[in-house]
Amino acid sequence: MKNIIIIVVDAFRIKNLSAFGYEKETDKYLKKIGKESLYFKKHFSNSNSTAPALTSIFTGKLSKKHGIIHQVPYTTDKEFDDFEDNKKFWLPSFLKEKGYDTIAIDWIGLWFKDGFDYYEEKEDKDSQLRRFMKIPKVKRFLLTLPNWAYKFGKKVIKTRASEQFSPTKETMDLAISKIKTAKKPFFLFVHCWDTHFPFPNTKFSPSGKKDSEEIIKKLENNNQKEYIKKRFTDINLESMQDIMDKYDLTIKNIDKEIGRMHKFLKKAKLWEDTIFIVLGDHGTSMGEHNVYFSHSGLYEESIRVPLIMHIPGFEGKEINEMVQNIDIVPTLLEVIGEKTEDELDGKSLIPLIKEGKKIRDKILLVDGLAHNITGVRTETKKLIVAKDKTCHLCKANHHEGTEEYDLVNDPNEQKNIYSGESELMKDLT
Ligand SMILES: [Zn+2]
Ligand SMILES: [Zn+2]
């Protein structure tokens, strides 16, 4: 049986990749790997946030079916209960049962640890203080303070909310050392976090430019103003361009590390025995649609992410049909010749890869950072219905009522064309 490696790059924006037209080459190695792999250019997450997206990647099911709709800590007790009740297929446990050595390099823990023989839990090595900071309630309390008190509070606690993110170099070192000692076949899951705001492990020299105050002044919602001030405090930069440049640097670093892994697999003669997957769990927004340095809302910035899949025996090519993260599990099962009794939402990508057969005409989406926002995207249109729409993070409304976009003539989703009815409404209900 083939080894399987899944590398998730957190908050991975296609707009900052040269493979998608960005003017800077941030993704030299990913492009190289993409050439000998299947590079899916129209791949979408099911959600704009980590917990529901990762759960879909490991179950092949949409949020509504696996239960986890909202990002932790906004996940409700009912969602956890639904998840436990519906839990049948779970990729790590399934592979473990089939004889795979299962290894994860991540730190979020929770139910994501299930089924792994080895789960790198940074938490155990953390200081008491940092563990205290990880309690969502403490984080949330700090966020309720005015910015000066937030700054002070962070100094006193001497940590920042995102310091637990593991540097990608360390992550990849550990991943490579684990492959060396793994029994074959192995399943390795690696989560790279450096691309997640505030990009804590990236050395960056600020330009000295300042436009943060101007940006904040233009915001209408007072809660959001306070929140964005705190985001600038977190990153210790005062210019939008600097933040973008720092983000680019994180992509470059991750790209280099994934390139190193690729080289290692080739040298160890494992590449042709390994299904190798790189994808983003969700995207991120850099000011588009009034979303700053987060992934709220169901606009393209938050939900469209790269997917690169190397399957031994398949030549490299670019695929421009729509696919979704729930399709990864059925594809893997087909490649390794296994089946599940469980009813999945995803479809195997093999007919698309082999015969160019279109496998889906719509993408269903749910917002994990607001109470009740759902969406559906087709090749040409997107419909978003926002019922309970307050953003959990900044308390602004990134969506208003019902929105429909013509993605052909308006790919940046600027003009709401919803007229009171939409042919896409039935897909949502
Ligand atoms: Zn994420
Ligand atoms: Zn927000």
> What pLDDT is recorded for position 227?
93
Percentage, residues of the chain above pLDDT 90: 84
User: How far is residue 19's CA from residue 188's CA, in Å, rounded to a whole number?
Assistant: 26
Q: How far is the CA of 424 from the centre of ligand 1 (A)?
A: 28
- Cβ 92 vs Cβ 58: under 8 Å: yes
- Cβ 62 vs Cβ 46: under 8 Å: yes
> What pLDDT is recorded for position 133?
53
Burial class from Cβ neighbours inside 10 Å (0-12, 13-18, 19+) for residue 270 reads: middle
Instruction: Give the residue-averaged pLDDT of 289-317.
Output: 97
Pair of tokens at residue 220: 């209408």
Q: How far is the CA of 32 from the centre of ligand 1 (A)?
A: 24
Ligand nearest to the CA of 283: 1
- Cβ 392 vs Cβ 223: under 8 Å: no
- Cβ 27 vs Cβ 19: under 8 Å: yes
- Torsion sign across C-alpha atoms 159, 371, 228, 9: positive
Q: How far is the CA of 408 from the centre of ligand 2 (A)?
A: 27
Ligand nearest to the CA of 302: 1
Q: How far is the CA of 296 from the centre of ligand 2 (A)?
A: 6
Instruction: Give the residue-averaged pLDDT of 293-299.
Output: 97
Identify whether 200 is preceded by a cis peptide bond (ω within 30 of 0). Answer: no
Ligand nearest to the CA of 49: 1
Q: How far is the CA of 287 from the centre of ligand 1 (A)?
A: 18
Strands 38-40 vs 317-319: parallel, antiparallel or unpaired: parallel
Q: How far is the CA of 75 from the centre of ligand 2 (A)?
A: 17
DSSP classification of residue 210: -
On average, the pLDDT of the chain sits at 93
H-run or E-run covering 248: helix 240-267
Q: How far is the CA of 14 from the centre of ligand 1 (A)?
A: 14
Lowest-confidence range among 24-38, 73-87, 292-306? 73-87
Strands 317-319 vs 323-324: parallel, antiparallel or unpaired: unpaired
User: At residue 162, does pLDDT exceed 50?
Assistant: no
| Residues facing 160 on adjacent strands | none
- Cβ 103 vs Cβ 3: under 8 Å: no
- Torsion sign across C-alpha atoms 312, 316, 321, 324: positive
Instruction: Give the residue-averaged pLDDT of 169-190.
Output: 96
Q: How far is the CA of 364 from the centre of ligand 2 (A)?
A: 21
User: At residue 91, does pLDDT exceed 90?
Assistant: yes
Q: How far is the CA of 260 from the centre of ligand 1 (A)?
A: 23
CATH 3.30.420.40 fits 3-126+164-355, yes or no: no
Query: Using 50, 70 and 90 to split pLDDT, how confident is the model at 300?
Result: very high
What is the three-class DSSP state of 311? Answer: coil
Q: How far is the CA of 4 from the centre of ligand 2 (A)?
A: 36
| Residues facing 9 on adjacent strands | 192, 280
Identify whether 306 is preceded by a cis peptide bond (ω within 30 of 0). Answer: no
Domain residue extents for the chain: 3-126+164-355
Amino acid (1-letter code) at residue 416: N
For 320-397, where are the E strands, in sequence order? Answer: 323-324, 363-366, 370-377, 381-391
DSSP classification of residue 236: T
User: How far is residue 255's CA from residue 266's CA, in Å, rounded to a whole number?
Assistant: 17
Ligand nearest to the CA of 284: 1
User: How far is residue 219's CA from residue 207's CA, in Å, rounded to a whole number?
Assistant: 24
Instruction: Give the residue-averaged pLDDT of 379-397.
Output: 96
> Residue 234: CB partners within 8 Å, gap ≥ 6?
160, 161, 162, 197, 198
Lowest-confidence range among 31-35, 155-159, 247-251, 314-318? 155-159
Q: How far is the CA of 399 from the centre of ligand 2 (A)?
A: 10
**pLDDT tens-place string over residues 211-238:** 999 999 999 999 999 999 999 998 999 9
Instruction: Give the residue-averaged pLDDT of 189-213.
Output: 93
**pLDDT tens-place string over residues 92-103:** 999 999 999 999
Cα angle at 19 between 18 and 24, to 5 degrees?
5
Q: How far is the CA of 293 from the centre of ligand 2 (A)?
A: 9
Q: How far is the CA of 292 from the centre of ligand 1 (A)?
A: 15
For 82-229, where are the E strands, in sequence order? Answer: 101-105, 118-120, 186-192
